């Protein structure tokens, strides 16, 4: 029996990955089980509900799982065959009739062309291209039982490799693949569980990864950020790193003398980071341009304090931040904090439940001076002017009160409204506006409505609560317009350089702060 166990242990060393049906697992034990004949493999399943126990059987612990029902014992004979990357790639790409075309390449082409179906001719063309094995630039063997490299030196043009959902289980295997592929720059290892490399292994294996620029480790079982930083010593020249759906929630400052020296993109989508203070620990990544922290349960954005006229010396190259699907409860405060980042140009965020995109858009544009896009929508000069003007008027009285109360109150006001000093420089003092806004207001206001094309002007008394849509109807009737509904904007009587578009038909003139003697322009 000892000899049999030794053979099994050689074939299934601890940490080996196995697959039975659609279920992936990791070998945690090899040997006998009391009361049961023969040799058994103790498996920890990726699906924590797949097993029957946590490694304890009849009161005896054989191995440990992360979940109470993540473990099972199986016979070695139940484990399916494994394959080398070479064999899996040849099988997938050399059998080039239409039925054997790589589905992942089809999906990629569909997304690129925004098409749901391919004609048979198109599929055959892709298949024939795939069949030229040594010329392949991209290979995907996802969801195959690959656990070894094989001979890959013919793939001299290969730049992109997808070995996600395979049976690769340690970095020695990955290194044996990478060192044979000198052109490899993009590597997808998602949904594999790799044994943490030792320091001596890192020293030995690191040269094999020097050509790698992008690596995806989505759902690879990382539960400790320290393990990520330790493993990152393997990839000295990495530009893009995907760590989506790993379960770590605590981060730590990175030693940039050792890792992430050139990192441009970091994806932390759907991890367990629920506190933005943890994100701030990565602020010393001076080359980072894109950070994805969507779906992380973050409720508040808080960064270190700095003067309203200054930016923080952190995330100094960050241009794009993805905050989608985080339950941030105070949008204005969050945007005010993000204005501290020196290069932020693109922001993705889901509106608060009590807000909508237009309101969120206006707040973001007014509070983040450098913002150019929000949710892929470009900020136009008119939109910025309108958003800034709204903030300039909204906080006018609060600014005047802070000014009268003294320097400390004014500093506190500017801390909470960082862009306001810039708005004062841009639009001047709102002092003239404050008395008018505080006076008792009539329900009707006199406005001038001017047709820009003909120059004709109509003096009209209208309700403050009239909607833009209703006013458009009156304008079309008065100026005898037909065809498309005219676009309206207004010029503030006290600040004629400010032109505010009335771009939401459902909003009222009061919403846009149209006042007595303002001029509505018909475009």
Identify the band that residue 242 occupies on the pLDDT scale cut at 50, 70 and 90: very high
pLDDT single digits (tens) 352-399: 887 789 999 999 999 999 999 999 999 999 999 999 988 998 898 899
Is pLDDT of 114 > 50? no
Identify the band that residue 439 occupies on the pLDDT scale cut at 50, 70 and 90: very low
Is pLDDT of 413 > 80? yes
pLDDT single digits (tens) 253-306: 999 999 999 999 999 999 999 999 999 999 999 999 999 999 999 999 999 999
Q: Judge contact between 500 and 362, C-beta under 8 A.
A: no
Q: Judge contact between 14 and 28, C-beta under 8 A.
A: yes
Q: Alpha-carbon distance 163 to 271, whole Å? A: 22
Full set of structural domains in the chain with CATH:
8-78 (2.30.30.190), 83-95+123-381 (3.80.10.10), 382-433 (no CATH), 444-522 (3.10.20.90)
- Record the pTM: 0.77
Residue percentage of the chain with pLDDT more than 90 = 67
Identify the band that residue 102 occupies on the pLDDT scale cut at 50, 70 and 90: low
Identify the band that residue 437 occupies on the pLDDT scale cut at 50, 70 and 90: very low
Identify the band that residue 153 occupies on the pLDDT scale cut at 50, 70 and 90: very high
Q: Which of 499, 472, 469, 474 has the alpha carbon at shortest distance from 486?
A: 472
Q: Work out the end-to-end distance of the chain between its first and last CA atoms, rounded to an integer number of angstroms.
A: 91
What does the buried/exposed string (b/e) look like for 177-203 if buried means 16 or more CB atoms within 10 Å of the residue's CB? bbbbbeebbbbbbbbbbbbebeeebbe
Average pLDDT of every residue of the chain:
88
Q: Alpha-carbon distance 56 to 72, whole Å? A: 10
Residue 510: per-residue pLDDT: 84
Q: Alpha-carbon distance 56 to 39, whole Å? A: 16
Is pLDDT of 108 > 80? no
pLDDT single digits (tens) 32-75: 999 898 899 999 999 988 999 999 999 999 999 989 999 999 99
Residue 104: per-residue pLDDT: 58
Q: Which of 178, 131, 132, 173 has the alpha carbon at shortest distance from 159?
A: 178
Residue 512: per-residue pLDDT: 83
**Mean pLDDT of the region 414-422:** 95
Q: Report the 10 Å Cβ neighbour count for 60.
A: 10
């Amino acid at each position: 029996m000892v000899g049999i166990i030794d053979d099994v242990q050689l074939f299934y060393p601890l940490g080996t990955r196995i697959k039975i049906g659609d279920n992936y697992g990791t070998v945690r034990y090899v040997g006998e089980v009391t009361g049961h004949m023969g040799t058994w493999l103790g498996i920890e399943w990726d699906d924590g509900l797949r097993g029957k126990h946590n490694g304890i059987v009849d009161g005896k612990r054989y191995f440990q799982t992360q979940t109470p029902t993540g473990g099972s014992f199986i016979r070695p004979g139940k484990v399916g065959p494994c394959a080398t990357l070479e064999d899996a790639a040849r099988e997938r790409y050399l059998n080039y009739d239409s039925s054997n075309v790589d589905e992942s390449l089809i999906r990629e082409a569909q997304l690129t062309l925004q098409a749901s179906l391919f004609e048979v001719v198109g599929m055959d063309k892709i298949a024939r291209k795939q069949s030229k094995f040594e010329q392949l630039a991209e290979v995907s063997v996802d969801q195959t039982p690959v656990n070894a490299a094989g001979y890959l030196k013919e793939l001299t043009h290969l730049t992109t490799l997808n070995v996600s959902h395979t049976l690769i289980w340690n970095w020695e295997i990955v290194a044996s693949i990478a060192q044979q592929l000198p052109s490899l720059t993009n590597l997808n290892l998602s949904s594999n569980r790799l044994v943490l490399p030792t320091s001596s292994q890192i020293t030995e294996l690191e040269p094999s990864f020097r050509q790698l620029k992008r690596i995806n480790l989505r759902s690879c079982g990382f539960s400790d950020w320290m393990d990520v930083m330790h493993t990152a010593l393997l990839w000295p020249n990495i530009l893009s790193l995907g760590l989506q759906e790993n379960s770590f929630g605590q981060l730590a400052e990175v030693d940039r003398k050792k890792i992430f020296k050139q990192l441009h993109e970091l994806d932390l989508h759907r991890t367990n980071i629920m506190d933005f203070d943890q994100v701030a620990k990565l602020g010393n990544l001076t080359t980072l341009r894109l950070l994805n922290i969507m779906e992380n349960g973050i409720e508040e954005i808080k960064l270190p304090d700095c003067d309203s006229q200054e930016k923080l010396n952190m995330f100094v190259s960050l241009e794009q931040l993805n905050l989608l699907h985080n339950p941030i409860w105070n949008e204005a405060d969050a945007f005010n904090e993000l204005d501290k980042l020196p290069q932020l140009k693109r922001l993705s965020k889901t509106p608060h439940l009590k807000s909508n995109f237009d309101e969120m858009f206006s707040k973001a544009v007014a509070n983040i001076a450098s913002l150019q896009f929000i949710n892929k929508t470009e900020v136009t000069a008119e939109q910025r002017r309108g958003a800034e003007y709204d903030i300039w008027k909204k906080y006018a009285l609060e600014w005047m009160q802070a000014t009268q109360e003294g320097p400390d109150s004014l500093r506190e006001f500017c801390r909470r409204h960082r862009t306001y000093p810039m708005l004062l420089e841009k639009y001047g003092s709102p002092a003239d506006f404050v008395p008018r806004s505080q006076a008792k207001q009539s329900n009707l206001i006199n406005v001038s409505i001017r047709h820009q094309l003909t120059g004709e002007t109509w003096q009209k008394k209208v309700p403050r609560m009239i909607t833009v849509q209703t006013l458009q109807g009156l304008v079309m009737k008065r100026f005898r317009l037909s065809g498309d509904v005219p676009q309206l904007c207004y010029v503030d009587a006290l600040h004629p350089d400010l032109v505010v578009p009335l771009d939401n038909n459902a909003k009222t003139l009061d919403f846009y702060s149209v006042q007595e003697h303002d001029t509505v322009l018909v475009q």
